[in-house]
Amino acid sequence: MIFKRRKQPSLLRRALAFLWPEKGFARGWRYMRHRVERINDTPSNIALGFACGAFASFTPLFGLHFVVAALLAKMLRVNIISALFGTAIGNPLSFPLIAAGSMSVGQLLLGRGREAKEGEAVDGEGVVAAFLDMGGLLYDGARSAIGIAEPDTVSWSVAAARLDEFSSQFMAPYALGGLICGIPVAIASFYIVRPAIAAYQKRRTEKLERRRIERAKEARASEAAAEPTR
């Protein structure tokens, strides 16, 4: 192909471009909308798949949202591709808001609202940073456990102890709050995406039908012109 890239981008680069488009989020969202509209499935299956991805974005399993979305779509027997696109609801711009909302609701339901420090429950960027730090700590601990880390790297026992504290302080309230906040967002996503897909598929069917009729007319006209005059 003439316009095919000589060097294809890596899977990691494509995933990062999906979460943070190089040419801006507006163009990225338009591209995603066109790709979702062109999925060959029923509007309900596509919309339900997208809702699964939107819900997965509210789980505290950072780095595994694609996997969670695909498993949910598989369980519900809906479109997995649209579920992967639905995870774009969680992106670098929205994650702080999602984290702040999920943590605030989770702490409130667990009765920790009064115990939390002022501003802690709404510090979305701080929550995301805490998850990233914990991920790095577990990575270093795992490397120490198998003996491939530097001598001064944190040990697995220390990382495991920090994980227990982290799970109680962050993971539990985030998971509970994300469940409560993710459900209405998933429902809203379904009712927004389904009519849009249905309208697009209707327009596409009508357009294809018009083309078929025009081609049939052109074919009949060509046959009539080719017939010898009597």
Per-residue pLDDT reduced to its tens digit, 136-154: 887 877 877 777 767 777 7
In a domain, 218, yes or no: no
Residue with tokens 């509007």: 43
Counting the structural domains of the chain, the total is 1
In-domain check, residue 4:
no
Residue 112 is assigned to a structural domain of this protein? yes
So what's the pLDDT on residue 55?
97
What is the residue whose two structure tokens read 């809702």? 51
- Residue 207, in any domain of the structure: no
The confidence score (pLDDT) of residue 2 equals 42
For residues 53 and 208, the model is more confident at: 53
For residue 93, give the DSSP letter: T
* Residue in the block written with tokens 């009712």: 191
Give the pLDDT band of residue 216 (cuts 50, 70, 90). Answer: confident
- Residue 29: how many CA atoms within 13 Å on its side-chain side? 7
Inside any domain, residue 41: yes
In the Cβ-directed half-sphere of 148, how many Cα atoms lie within 13 Å? 5
- Provide the domain limits for residue 161: 24-197
In this structure, of 18-27, 60-69, 179-188, the range with the lowest mean pLDDT score is 18-27
Is 183 within a domain? yes
Residue at 215 is within a domain: no
- Distances 230 to 220, 222, 225, 227 between C-alpha atoms, Å: 18, 17, 12, 9
Please, what sign has the CA dihedral across residues 55, 59, 61, 62? positive
